[in-house]
Structure 1
Amino acid sequence: METTAERWERFLDPDAVKPSLFLATMFITAFEILKNSVIDHLRNFYANGWDENGPIISPEYQSRVLSRNKSPLYASFEWLQESGAIGSKDLDQYEKLKKTRNLLAHQLFEVVTGQIESEHEAQFEELLELLRKIELWWVVNLEIATNPDYDGQEIDEAGIVPGSILSLQMLIEVASGNTELLEYWRKAQKQREADA
């Protein structure tokens, strides 16, 4: 257990606080992306079209998904489990991740300054794995399965990087101070302007 002097040392040291704060906020961000992914993919699956307000949801969404649970998130999880996208271990893992997210969201200062222990650093990969598993299921079972360009082709699932994972990877790179993506984007913008 840290002494009061050690906690102050950690709290006042930017080299200790920055990485801790960064990892905590990335965990919260990834967790929210996971929740949105679980709900949004399924809601969009049951969309009959789009208008200025977003997807026009079919009545089937209510009867086949939302009727399962008062929470759209847990109703979606139940649908995903019944469809074979996730298992009961994944749901147990989600609950552990949710506890960690809640700790970070409600006691971020205490976690970042070392007053409260958190498993978020160790669990970050588990969070990404669950997100990737769900996203990959949608890519393989909807996007690829319904695209005739992939008929008869063997799909290397390990080589698929879902959009949400790619976005998170980019965010981590940018937030870590990497400017390569910015420079690439600027170069591409200049090229587009020159081509126009």
Structure 2
Amino acid sequence: MSTYEERWERFLDPEVVRPSLFMATMFITTFEILKNSIIDRIRDFYSIGWSEGETTVSPEYRTKVLSRDKSPVYASLKWLHEHQVINDDDLQSFEQLKSTRNLVAHQLFDIVTGQAESNHTEQFQVLVELLRKIEVWWVINVELATDPNYADTEVHEEGIVPGAILSLQMLLEVAGGNTELLKAWRSQRAQ
């Protein structure tokens, strides 16, 4: 079979296209969750209230975070790096993940149909691990550290499942066809 025929074979086979499209969209979605976590967690940390349905941040947010870079993502990454939430390897990983995200987003059709190569499937776990690392740091160093109920409690990092990771796991299950969560939700509503 020629390359041309192989491409058509791949393009017309739902058993090939469906999982390829699923992983591509999950990579893009998870990368956006990571970006939101990077920015929103810090902005929320500097939050001082609500005004007209939006979070009001202290002037310190501009001077201590946003002043680091014109991009809120990179300014926040620098803040996270300075506070030892992430390291140099994590910054490199972010750049690789961002490049992959851009490739997948801009060449989605070609990647899903096998006309362009991408390693987003292999990088997906790296993406989830970086998201988890940042989220767990916030849980341990801010949420639990400021909660008097956990003052003298030993917390094991590996047992923490941050909300963003739990939501991602649920999304993967539901998008993968699992209906158990829906059944459980409906059962709870009926009570």
Question: Aligned ranges for residues 109-148 of structure 1 at < 5 Å?
Answer: 109-148=109-148
SS, match of residue 116 in structure 2: coil
Matches within 5 A, 1:1-196: 3-191=3-191
3-state DSSP class of the match of 2:62? helix
- 4+ residue segments displaced more than 4 Å: none
Distance 2:148 2:165 in 1: 25
How many angstroms apart in 2 are the aligned matches of 1:53 and 1:74?
26
The root-mean-square deviation of aligned C-alpha atoms, in Å, is 0.8
Tell me, in whole angstroms, the C-alpha distance in 1 between the residues paired with 2:52 and 2:143: 24
How far did 1:51 drift? 3.0
In structure 1, C-alpha distance between the alignment counterparts of 2:42 and 2:186, rounded to whole Å? 35
Q: What letter matches 2:29 in structure 1?
A: T
CA deviation vs aligned residue, 1:5-64 (integer Å, no higher than 9, x gap): 111100000000000000000000000000001000000100111233221110000000
- In percent, how many aligned pairs have the same letter? 63
Q: Map Cα deviations across residues 106-161 of structure 1 (whole Å, 9 max, x no partner).
A: 00000000011100000000000000000001000000000111112110110100
Amino acid at match of 2:124: F
Letter in 2 for 1:117: E
**Partner amino acid, structure 2, of 1:39:** I
Give TM-score scaled by structure 1 length.
0.95
Q: TM-score when scaled to structure 2?
A: 0.98
Report the Cα distance in structure 2 between the residues aligned to 1:54 and 1:162, rounded to whole angstroms: 24
In structure 2, the gaps of 5 or more residues are none
* Residue ranges of structure 1 left out of the alignment (5+ in a row): 192-196
- What is the one-letter code of the residue matched to 2:7? R
Amino acid at match of 1:166: L
Paired with 2:47 and 2:74, the residues of 1 have a C-alpha distance of: 19
Structure-1 separation of matches of 2:69 and 2:93: 19
Q: Which amino acid aligns with 2:85?
A: A
Specify the code of the residue in structure 2 equivalent to 1:11.
F
